[in-house]
Every structure is written in structure tokens, then in C-alpha cells.
């Protein structure tokens, strides 16, 4: 069994992160979240410093990518240049 983890989602959006985590949990896919706590609260608003990444085991990557692709079709995120 290959225990290498690969990134299947990068996002700035905490809502997208919550939905993605829920989908992976429901599918029984083990995952790890990187940079989830690199945000800050400034003047009442939460700001994420850099991408939050979801990583899954290589063996689960195709299934996870399919689930997350369906989610992203519904909840499209702005492109990087639209965020500035």
C-alpha cells in the first residue's frame, strides 16, 4: 500500500474547504489539511494567508478528484487574479 499523500485541492475559501472535507468524510477517504490555520482575523474579517491544501493517499486520489470536481462545478472559485 502506498502511503504517499498528494494534493487534490487548493483553496482560499473556508466554505469550499468545509464542503470538500464533508464530501471526503462521507466517502470514507482519509485526508490531511495543510495550512488550515495560517489565517488571521483582521478587523472582524478572516483572511487566509496562502492556499489551504487537502491531501489524500495516492490510492484515493482519482476518487477524491472526481468528488471535488463535481463540487467545484457547483461552487466555482475566482481565479487568482480576481482575488487581488
Domain ranges of the chain: 5-78
pTM of the model as a whole:
0.72
Topology classification of domain 5-78: Alpha-Beta Plaits (3.30.70)
Give the rounded percent of residues in the chain with a pLDDT score beyond 70. 67
Task: Say if strands 39-42 and 52-57 run parallel, antiparallel, or are unpaired.
Answer: unpaired
Identify any residues that bridge with 32 across adjacent strands, giving them in sequence order: 55
Mean pLDDT of 9-22: 89
pLDDT of residue 83: 46
Mean pLDDT over the full length of the chain: 79
Amino acid at each position: 500500500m502506498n502511503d504517499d499523500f498528494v494534493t487534490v485541492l487548493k483553496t482560499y475559501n473556508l466554505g469550499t474547504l468545509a464542503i470538500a472535507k464533508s464530501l471526503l468524510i462521507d466517502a470514507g477517504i482519509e485526508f490531511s489539511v495543510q495550512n488550515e490555520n495560517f489565517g488571521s482575523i483582521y478587523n472582524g474579517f478572516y483572511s487566509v494567508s496562502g492556499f489551504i491544501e487537502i491531501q489524500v493517499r495516492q490510492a484515493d486520489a482519482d476518487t477524491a478528484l472526481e468528488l471535488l470536481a463535481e463540487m467545484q462545478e457547483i461552487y466555482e472559485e475566482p481565479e487568482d487574479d480576481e482575488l487581488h
